[in-house]
């Protein structure tokens, strides 16, 4: 059975109330039944990445329904340092136990100055705190730090533009990472929608999608999971 990841990257959107509304719509009875029915045929893993301030409310909400809702939380980034006088940073120590995953090296953060050296340290910090890093890469030339098992291929020109890469090219990139870099799972991200998701998911080497804009609406994101 092919493992498929569906990651909702909310970026700098939503406060606690908006998150609860999203959860209530997304985890409808019919969706929960659908996910449980699917378990026998597809291994679909849903990961939601809210902004930092609402992570603990998200975690508490989800743990209340743990048996019913098969979903994990992820952070959108992590500090490259362990602790200390670094105003504003959110460390692996703080995130440990709260999230199972963390996005590292998103192009929007690289554009703000995040370097490959910092990204390598972030992967180390995630690993040291039992958090699985999901490394965002922009091309086959993006360096892959040791300890990376999951990669999300996100070409910059496809993010938020409505112009996704072709599934065939994304598949070639995924094949490269799996064959040449020993990556276990490769996802695609960049203008994923309910109408194109299946074309990516059906590709041999792709294991899911990282969704930005289309994950903000619970009905659209649930359609993406169903139509994959």
Contact call for residue 212 and ligand PGA (CB under 6 A): yes
Contact call for residue 206 and ligand PGA (CB under 6 A): no
Q: Which of 108, 114, 120, 154 is catalytic?
A: 154
Contact call for residue 154 and ligand PGA (CB under 6 A): yes
Residues composing the chain: 228
Q: Is 154 a catalytic residue?
A: yes
Distance CA 14, CA 18 (A): 5
Residue 30's φ and ψ, nearest 5 degrees, are -65, -35
Q: Give the bridge partners for 150, in sequence order.
A: 134, 185
Which CB atom, from 27 or from 221, has the smaller least distance to ligand PGA? Answer: 221
Beta strands in 97-164 (DSSP E): 101-104, 132-137, 150-153
Single out the segment in contact with ligand PGA by CB under 6 A; choices: 67-75, 77-85, 142-150, 208-216: 208-216
Which CB atom, from 83 or from 195, has the smaller least distance to ligand PGA? Answer: 195
* Number of residues near ligand PGA (by CB under 6 A): 13
Residue found under tokens 């409808």: 28
Contact call for residue 138 and ligand PGA (CB under 6 A): no
Closest listed residue to residue 192, CA positions, set 204, 208, 181: 208
Q: Which of 35, 131, 210, 228 binds ligand PGA (CB under 6 A)?
A: 210
Single out the segment in contact with ligand PGA by CB under 6 A; choices: 36-44, 66-74, 125-133, 188-196: 188-196
Distance CA 92, CA 79 (A): 7
Residue 169 C-beta: closest distance to ligand PGA, Å: 16
Q: Which of 9, 142, 207, 222 binds ligand PGA (CB under 6 A)?
A: 9
Q: Which of 174, 197, 211, 224 binds ligand PGA (CB under 6 A)?
A: 211
Burial class of residue 115 (count of CB atoms within 10 Å of its CB; 0-12, 13-18, 19+): exposed
Which CB atom, from 133 or from 190, has the smaller least distance to ligand PGA? Answer: 190
Residue 9 C-beta: closest distance to ligand PGA, Å: 4
Q: Is 18 a catalytic residue?
A: no
Contact 161, 191 (CB under 8 A): yes
In b/e form, how buried is each residue of 35-48, taking b as 16+ CB within 10 angstroms? beebeeebebbbbb
Residue found under tokens 């070409």: 155
Residues that bind ligand PGA (CB under 6 A): 9, 154, 159-160, 189-192, 210-214
Residues with a catalytic annotation lie at 106, 154
């Amino acid at each position: 059975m092919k493992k498929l990841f569906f990651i909702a990257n909310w970026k700098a959107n939503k406060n606690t109330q908006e998150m609860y509304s999203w959860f209530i719509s997304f985890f409808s009875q019919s969706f929960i039944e659908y996910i449980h029915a699917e378990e026998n045929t597809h291994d679909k893993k849903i990961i939601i990445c809210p902004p930092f301030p609402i992570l603990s409310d998200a975690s508490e909400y989800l743990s209340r329904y743990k048996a019913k809702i098969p979903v994990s939380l992820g952070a959108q980034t992590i500090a490259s340092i362990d602790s200390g006088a670094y105003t504003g940073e959110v460390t692996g120590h703080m995130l440990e136990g709260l999230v199972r995953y963390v996005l590292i090296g998103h192009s929007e953060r690289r554009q703000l100055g995040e370097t490959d050296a910092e990204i390598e340290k972030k992967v180390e910090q995630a690993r040291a705190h039992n958090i699985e890093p999901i490394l965002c890469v922009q091309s086959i030339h993006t360096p892959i730090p040791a300890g990376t098992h999951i990669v999300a291929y996100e070409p910059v020109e496809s993010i938020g533009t409505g112009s996704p890469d072709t599934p065939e090219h994304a598949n070639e990139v995924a094949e490269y990472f799996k064959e040449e870099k020993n990556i276990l799972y490769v996802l695609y991200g960049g203008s994923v929608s309910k109408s194109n998701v299946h074309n990516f998911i059906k590709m041999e080497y792709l294991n899911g999608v990282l969704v930005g804009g289309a994950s903000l609406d619970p009905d659209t994101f649930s359609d993406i999971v169903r139509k994959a």
